[in-house]
Protein backbone atom coordinates (compact mmCIF):
# COMPACT_ATOMS: atom_id res chain seq x y z
CA UNK A 1 0.00 0.00 0.00
CA UNK A 2 1.36 3.40 -0.94
CA UNK A 3 1.49 6.29 1.53
CA UNK A 4 -1.26 8.06 -0.41
CA UNK A 5 -3.49 5.00 -0.11
CA UNK A 6 -2.77 4.76 3.63
CA UNK A 7 -3.74 8.40 4.12
CA UNK A 8 -6.94 7.84 2.14
CA UNK A 9 -7.82 4.85 4.35
CA UNK A 10 -7.29 6.92 7.52
CA UNK A 11 -9.50 9.69 6.15
CA UNK A 12 -12.17 7.16 5.21
CA UNK A 13 -12.22 5.95 8.83
CA UNK A 14 -12.17 9.44 10.36
CA UNK A 15 -14.80 11.06 8.13
CA UNK A 16 -17.83 9.16 9.56
CA UNK A 17 -16.59 10.05 13.05
CA UNK A 18 -16.45 13.75 12.16
CA UNK A 19 -19.94 13.59 10.72
CA UNK A 20 -21.30 11.89 13.86
CA UNK A 21 -19.63 14.46 16.14
CA UNK A 22 -21.13 17.24 14.05
CA UNK A 23 -24.60 15.65 14.17
CA UNK A 24 -24.38 15.30 17.94
CA UNK A 25 -23.27 18.91 18.33
CA UNK A 26 -26.06 20.14 16.04
CA UNK A 27 -28.69 18.20 17.96
CA UNK A 28 -27.28 19.12 21.36
CA UNK A 29 -27.07 22.85 20.77
CA UNK A 30 -30.73 23.10 19.75
CA UNK A 31 -31.85 21.11 22.79
CA UNK A 32 -29.58 23.08 25.12
CA UNK A 33 -30.85 26.40 23.73
CA UNK A 34 -34.41 25.28 24.41
CA UNK A 35 -33.96 23.65 27.82
CA UNK A 36 -30.49 24.40 29.22
CA UNK A 37 -27.91 21.93 30.45
CA UNK A 38 -29.96 20.44 33.26
CA UNK A 39 -33.10 20.10 31.14
CA UNK A 40 -31.60 17.78 28.53
CA UNK A 41 -30.53 14.15 28.89
CA UNK A 42 -27.86 12.24 26.98
CA UNK A 43 -30.59 9.93 25.67
CA UNK A 44 -32.54 12.88 24.25
CA UNK A 45 -29.44 14.22 22.49
CA UNK A 46 -28.69 10.80 21.02
CA UNK A 47 -32.27 10.37 19.79
CA UNK A 48 -32.30 13.81 18.17
CA UNK A 49 -29.02 13.01 16.38
CA UNK A 50 -30.09 9.54 15.29
CA UNK A 51 -27.36 8.03 17.46
CA UNK A 52 -26.94 5.88 20.57
CA UNK A 53 -26.24 7.29 24.06
CA UNK A 54 -22.95 5.38 24.06
CA UNK A 55 -21.85 7.45 21.05
CA UNK A 56 -22.31 10.65 23.05
CA UNK A 57 -19.99 9.38 25.75
CA UNK A 58 -17.57 7.95 23.17
CA UNK A 59 -17.07 11.29 21.40
CA UNK A 60 -17.51 13.71 24.31
CA UNK A 61 -17.05 11.66 27.53
CA UNK A 62 -19.71 13.61 29.49
CA UNK A 63 -22.79 15.70 28.85
CA UNK A 64 -20.98 18.68 30.41
CA UNK A 65 -18.09 18.38 27.95
CA UNK A 66 -20.56 18.20 25.06
CA UNK A 67 -22.38 21.24 26.42
CA UNK A 68 -19.22 23.35 26.61
CA UNK A 69 -18.09 22.37 23.12
CA UNK A 70 -21.55 23.04 21.69
CA UNK A 71 -21.74 26.42 23.46
CA UNK A 72 -18.28 27.45 22.24
CA UNK A 73 -19.06 26.47 18.67
CA UNK A 74 -22.38 28.33 18.80
CA UNK A 75 -20.67 31.43 20.20
CA UNK A 76 -18.31 31.49 17.22
CA UNK A 77 -21.31 31.17 14.88
CA UNK A 78 -22.97 34.14 16.60
CA UNK A 79 -19.77 36.19 16.27
CA UNK A 80 -19.59 35.40 12.55
CA UNK A 81 -23.23 36.40 12.06
CA UNK A 82 -22.57 39.67 13.90
CA UNK A 83 -19.56 40.47 11.72
CA UNK A 84 -21.60 39.80 8.58
CA UNK A 85 -24.44 41.98 9.84
CA UNK A 86 -22.09 44.86 10.66
CA UNK A 87 -19.84 44.69 7.59
CA UNK A 88 -21.92 47.14 5.56
CA UNK A 89 -22.44 49.70 8.33
CA UNK A 90 -21.97 53.30 7.15
CA UNK A 91 -20.22 54.46 10.33
CA UNK A 92 -18.35 53.14 13.34
CA UNK A 93 -21.32 53.77 15.62
CA UNK A 94 -23.65 51.84 13.32
CA UNK A 95 -21.08 49.05 13.10
CA UNK A 96 -21.13 48.72 16.89
CA UNK A 97 -24.91 48.89 17.01
CA UNK A 98 -25.33 46.07 14.51
CA UNK A 99 -22.83 43.92 16.36
CA UNK A 100 -24.65 44.49 19.62
CA UNK A 101 -28.10 43.85 18.17
CA UNK A 102 -26.94 40.51 16.77
CA UNK A 103 -25.10 39.32 19.87
CA UNK A 104 -27.14 40.56 22.85
CA UNK A 105 -30.13 38.35 23.53
CA UNK A 106 -28.91 35.56 21.25
CA UNK A 107 -29.35 32.04 22.65
CA UNK A 108 -25.74 31.35 21.72
CA UNK A 109 -24.44 34.07 24.04
CA UNK A 110 -26.61 32.76 26.89
CA UNK A 111 -25.22 29.25 26.34
CA UNK A 112 -21.66 30.56 26.40
CA UNK A 113 -22.28 32.38 29.68
CA UNK A 114 -23.56 29.12 31.17
CA UNK A 115 -20.51 27.30 29.81
CA UNK A 116 -18.22 29.83 31.51
CA UNK A 117 -19.96 29.17 34.82
CA UNK A 118 -19.62 25.42 34.32
CA UNK A 119 -15.88 25.61 33.63
CA UNK A 120 -15.31 27.18 37.03
CA UNK A 121 -16.19 23.77 38.46
CA UNK A 122 -14.74 21.73 35.60
CA UNK A 123 -11.22 23.03 35.00
CA UNK A 124 -10.59 20.20 32.52
CA UNK A 125 -12.99 21.98 30.15
CA UNK A 126 -11.26 25.35 30.43
CA UNK A 127 -8.84 24.94 27.46
CA UNK A 128 -11.76 24.85 25.02
CA UNK A 129 -13.15 28.09 26.47
CA UNK A 130 -9.70 29.69 26.33
CA UNK A 131 -9.35 28.78 22.65
CA UNK A 132 -12.81 30.19 21.96
CA UNK A 133 -11.88 33.52 23.52
CA UNK A 134 -8.71 33.58 21.42
CA UNK A 135 -10.81 33.03 18.29
CA UNK A 136 -13.38 35.65 19.29
CA UNK A 137 -10.70 38.26 19.93
CA UNK A 138 -8.67 37.44 16.82
CA UNK A 139 -11.67 37.35 14.48
CA UNK A 140 -13.16 40.51 16.00
CA UNK A 141 -9.83 42.28 15.61
CA UNK A 142 -9.52 41.15 11.98
CA UNK A 143 -13.10 42.03 11.01
CA UNK A 144 -13.02 45.49 12.58
CA UNK A 145 -9.56 46.32 11.20
CA UNK A 146 -10.62 45.29 7.70
CA UNK A 147 -13.84 47.33 7.89
CA UNK A 148 -12.00 50.38 9.24
CA UNK A 149 -9.43 50.19 6.44
CA UNK A 150 -12.10 49.73 3.77
CA UNK A 151 -14.24 52.60 5.07
CA UNK A 152 -11.40 54.91 6.05
CA UNK A 153 -12.59 55.31 9.64
CA UNK A 154 -10.25 56.91 12.14
CA UNK A 155 -9.87 55.14 15.47
CA UNK A 156 -7.80 56.19 18.46
CA UNK A 157 -7.86 52.70 20.02
CA UNK A 158 -6.35 49.71 18.22
CA UNK A 159 -8.79 47.13 16.87
CA UNK A 160 -7.49 44.31 19.11
CA UNK A 161 -8.36 46.32 22.22
CA UNK A 162 -11.76 47.19 20.78
CA UNK A 163 -12.51 43.50 20.12
CA UNK A 164 -11.56 42.44 23.65
CA UNK A 165 -13.60 45.27 25.16
CA UNK A 166 -16.62 44.32 23.06
CA UNK A 167 -16.71 40.72 24.31
CA UNK A 168 -16.01 41.71 27.90
CA UNK A 169 -18.96 44.09 27.82
CA UNK A 170 -21.19 41.60 25.99
CA UNK A 171 -20.67 38.94 28.64
CA UNK A 172 -21.20 41.42 31.47
CA UNK A 173 -24.40 42.77 29.95
CA UNK A 174 -25.65 39.22 29.29
CA UNK A 175 -25.06 38.28 32.93
CA UNK A 176 -26.91 41.36 34.12
CA UNK A 177 -29.77 40.77 31.70
CA UNK A 178 -30.14 37.19 32.95
CA UNK A 179 -30.08 38.24 36.60
CA UNK A 180 -32.49 41.17 36.32
CA UNK A 181 -35.70 42.03 34.55
CA UNK A 182 -33.92 44.09 31.90
CA UNK A 183 -35.32 43.62 28.39
CA UNK A 184 -33.16 42.80 25.40
CA UNK A 185 -33.81 46.28 24.01
CA UNK A 186 -32.61 47.85 27.25
CA UNK A 187 -29.52 45.63 27.25
CA UNK A 188 -28.75 46.60 23.64
CA UNK A 189 -29.07 50.29 24.48
CA UNK A 190 -26.88 49.88 27.56
CA UNK A 191 -24.08 48.12 25.73
CA UNK A 192 -24.22 50.50 22.77
CA UNK A 193 -23.80 53.41 25.18
CA UNK A 194 -20.88 51.67 26.90
CA UNK A 195 -19.13 51.21 23.56
CA UNK A 196 -19.23 54.90 22.70
CA UNK A 197 -15.79 56.49 23.03
CA UNK A 198 -15.33 58.93 25.88
CA UNK A 199 -15.48 62.55 24.71
CA UNK A 200 -12.06 64.12 24.53
CA UNK A 201 -11.34 67.04 26.84
CA UNK A 202 -8.44 69.02 25.38
CA UNK A 203 -8.89 72.02 27.68
CA UNK A 204 -5.65 72.32 29.62
CA UNK A 205 -5.86 72.18 33.38
CA UNK A 206 -4.65 75.17 35.38
CA UNK A 207 -1.48 73.39 36.40
CA UNK A 208 -0.67 72.55 32.76
CA UNK A 209 -0.60 76.13 31.51
**Cα 3 from Cα 9, distance rounded (Å):** 10
Residue 74 within any structural domain of the chain = yes
Give burial (CB, 10 Å; 0-12/13-18/19+) of 139.
middle
Q: Answer for the pair 99, 191: CB distance below 8 angstroms, yes or no.
A: no
Range(s) of the domain holding residue 35: 1-60
How many structural domains comprise the chain? 2
Give the pLDDT of residue 142. 93
Give the pLDDT of residue 199. 52
**Cα 175 from Cα 184, distance rounded (Å):** 12
Contacts 24+ apart (CB under 8 A), 51-55: 51/20, 51/23, 51/24, 55/20, 55/24
Q: 70 and 106 share a domain? A: yes
Q: 127 and 29 share a domain? A: no
Give the pLDDT of residue 101. 95
pLDDT tens per residue across all 209 residues of the chain: 554 433 333 343 356 789 999 999 999 999 999 999 999 999 999 999 999 999 999 999 999 999 999 999 999 999 999 999 999 888 888 999 999 999 999 999 999 999 999 999 889 999 999 999 999 999 999 999 898 888 888 776 788 888 999 999 999 998 888 778 788 999 999 999 988 865 545 444 444 43
Half-sphere exposure of 68 (CA within 13 A, CB side): 24
Q: Answer for the pair 138, 162: CB distance below 8 angstroms, yes or no.
A: no
Q: 74 and 50 share a domain? A: no
CATH for 104: 1.10.357.10
Give the pLDDT of residue 113. 94
Give burial (CB, 10 Å; 0-12/13-18/19+) of 33.
middle
Reduce the secondary structure of 83-99 to three states and give it as a string: HHHHCCCCCHHHHHHHH
Q: 99 and 46 share a domain? A: no
Give the pLDDT of residue 198. 58
CA quadruple 24, 30, 34, 38: dihedral, nearest 10: 20
Q: 112 and 184 share a domain? A: yes
Write down the pTM of the prediction.
0.83
CATH for 41: 1.10.10.60
Amino acid sequence: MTSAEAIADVRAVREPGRRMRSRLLDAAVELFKASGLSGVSVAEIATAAGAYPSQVTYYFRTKEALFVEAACREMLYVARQAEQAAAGAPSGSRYNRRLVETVIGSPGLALFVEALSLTRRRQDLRPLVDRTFERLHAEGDRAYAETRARRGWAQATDSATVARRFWTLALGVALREGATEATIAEAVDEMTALLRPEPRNDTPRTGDR
